[in-house]
Amino acid sequence: MKKNAFLAVALASLLTFPCAAAAAEGFQGPQGAGGFQGPTSAVTVDTVAKAQKSQDETPVTLTGTILERIAGGDDKYTFRDSSGQIVVEIDEELFLGRSVTPQTKVRLYGKVDKEMMKTTKIDVKRLDILQ
């Protein structure tokens, strides 16, 4: 009887140890498995200078102006803020029929797009007009 009780305790310890270790490492199970189910804050890059030094897919929020459309690139523009200039890709539908000039202050939300041997650019997901 004591042998069976010892085996049961040993087996239970072995089965719960991986779960305890995963919890200690911040493991998150599938959605609906409990735990926090809300947004995750992320470090967002907020200047062109920081974006140019960031890794691919880093979230960005940039405030400045769109200077010009780049010839040959229907959705590529030159964007400037107080720290520098960078190429941004803005799909036409993000303008929502609104007119933007080089004097219009805008806020762009997107991600850094780095490709080997190419200039870093920003893939814009949302455009807000501030003026």
Tokens matching residue 99: 């007119």
**How many C-alpha atoms does 31 have within 13 Å on its Cβ side?**
3
pLDDT tens digit sequence for 30-82: 555 677 777 766 667 999 999 999 999 999 999 999 999 999 878 999 999 99
Helix (H, G, I), strand (E, B) or coil at 48: helix
Q: What is the pTM of this model?
A: 0.67
What residue ranges define each of the domains in the chain, with the CATH number in brackets?
48-129 (2.40.50.200)
Other beta carbons within 10 angstroms of residue 111's beta carbon come to 17
